[in-house]
Amino acid sequence: MAEGHASPNYWLIWLYLFILTATEIAVIFTPIVRLLVVIALVSLALAKVTLVAAYFMHLRFEVRTLSLIALTPLFLGAVLIFILIPDHSAVPHKTADSVKVAPAAGHR
């Protein structure tokens, strides 16, 4: 059970999360290829999620069953993305469905 383990250094985890968040902000202002920005941001987000789940939610110290339950939505989310890919491929053009709204007076 989770209470049987020695407590991890939570402040160190906090520091890692802080550094990863700061890195995310830095990445969006870095002049690199868009694809690399996407890969970097998704990787950083997954690293943060892993830290929160493993240490704050104690998954690292729990039985594997709980980790499998936690991974299920990630797996199904990946399946959903693959299901949507054919729809994207079937649409030959992007739609400009914008509805322009005038900014309120005194703003922007």
Partner 1 sequence: MSQVATMHPGTEPAESPLTPESSGKLGMWIFLAGDAMGFGTLLCGYGAVRYGSADWPNPYQHLGINLTAFMTFLLICSSVTMVKGLEGVKNGKRGTAQIYLLLTVIGGVGFLGLQAFEWTKLINEGLKVFGNPWGASLFGSTFFIITGFHGMHVTGGVIYLSVMLALVSKSTTALGTGWTYNVVEISGLYWHFVDLVWIMVFTFIYLL
Binding site for partner 1 (CB under 8 A): 1-3, 7, 10-11, 13-14, 17-18, 21, 24-25, 27-28, 37-38, 41-42, 44-45, 48-49, 52-53, 56-58, 62-63, 65-66, 69-70, 72-74, 76-77, 80-81, 84, 87-88, 91, 93-104, 107-108
Q: Which single residue is written with the structure tokens 């499998």?
A: 68
Distances from the Cα of 105 to the Cα of 70, 99, 100, angstroms: 47, 18, 15
Smallest gap from Cβ 85 to partner 1, in A, equals 10
Closest listed residue to residue 55, CA positions, set 6, 97, 98, 93: 6
Amino acid identity, residue 46? L
**Smallest separation, CB 33 to partner 1 (Å):** 14
